Amino acid sequence: MFDTKVALIIRDDLLPWQRLNVAAFLATGIAAGAPDALGEPYLDAQGLAFGRMLGQPILVFQAGKDGLEQAARVARERGLLTIPYVAGMFRTGNDADNRACFQAEDPVAPDWVGIGLRGPKKGVEKATKGLSLHP
């Protein structure tokens, strides 16, 4: 049905609130990076308008550090839209500090706690191969 796929990969050793926080931020990054993926606004029975959401499912996976590193590597090789979240971002309180935190990471081995992916179906499937869906 869709030519593209959206996946969030969350590190499996995070606290529940951290998992939800990472997933929420990654989903906003996908929406910002792929505005064409957004559906139309929702209207209730009285015509009251509500916001838009992605028009396709988001698969949420869990992985250890190795799984996240592998997925990020494949995503780079395949040119997928990749939204980053690293452990240091839990200690920041705003977008500018988040970007500075990410920029300070080792570019070869960032301390991934989550990544969001969107791109051609086969590319996302290759990046998430072997990962389990989040329970």
pLDDT for res 89: 96
Q: Check whether 84 has a pLDDT greater than 90.
A: yes
| Range 38-58 average pLDDT | 95
pLDDT tens, position by position, 97-110: 999 999 999 999 99
The DSSP string of the chain is: --SEEEEEEEETTS-HHHHHHHHHHHHHHHHHH-GGGB-PPEE-TT--EE---BSS-EEEEEE-HHHHHHHHHHHHHHT-EEEEEEGGGGG--SHHHHHHHHHTS-SSS--EEEEEEEEEHHHHHHHTTTPEEP-
Annotated domain spans of the chain:
4-133
pLDDT for res 92: 94
- Predicted TM-score of the model (pTM): 0.93
On average, the pLDDT of the chain sits at 96
pLDDT for res 5: 96
pLDDT for res 1: 81
Q: What is the pLDDT confidence band of residue 45, given thresholds at 50, 70 and 90?
A: very high
4-133 classified as CATH 3.40.50.150? no
